[in-house]
Amino acid sequence: MSRFNGIGDMLEDDVEHIHQKAAKIESRIGRMKKKEHQAIVHSRLEALQNSREIREAMESSISASKRNFKKRNLEHSAEERKVKAKIERDSNRMASLSIIASKPHETVPLSNYNKHKNELLRNNS
């Protein structure tokens, strides 16, 4: 490959990529009977692959279809986030409990058994 005026400078991956592109085009035009027409179509397909407009459109389509991940604060570890979430949950629970405790509520009337039990406890103590 070093004999071909610089193609030896290309990496193995680049050469393999070019080979795969050529094989794809060849598979599309390999069954055409007229060799002149085959050469014209091959040239058109290569021109389409190398077209800047088409390449930009493909890149924009690929980038538009990628998922967008949330940007997290990397300064906090998972343990710190866990502690912070627990503190927030606890404060929300305490706020809810204080609201419930401040509301007036009705007392449930005691049954005769509970009244009698309370009297016995008072007498024994």
Model confidence pLDDT, tens digit, residues 2-16: 555 666 666 678 788
CA distance 13 to 15: 5
The answer to the question of residue 56 being in a domain is no
In 3-state terms the chain splits into helix, strand, coil percentages (rounded to 5) of: 70, 0, 30
How does pLDDT run across 31-87, given as a tens digit for each residue?
889 999 999 999 999 898 888 998 899 899 999 998 887 777 766 778 888 888 999
Structure tokens at 23: 């094989």
The answer to the question of residue 107 being in a domain is no
DSSP 15: H
The answer to the question of residue 123 being in a domain is no
Q: Which residue has the higher pLDDT, 77 or 125?
A: 77
In total, how many domains does the chain have?
1
pTM: 0.39
Structure tokens at 57: 């459109």
Full domain range(s) for residue 12:
7-50
The answer to the question of residue 125 being in a domain is no
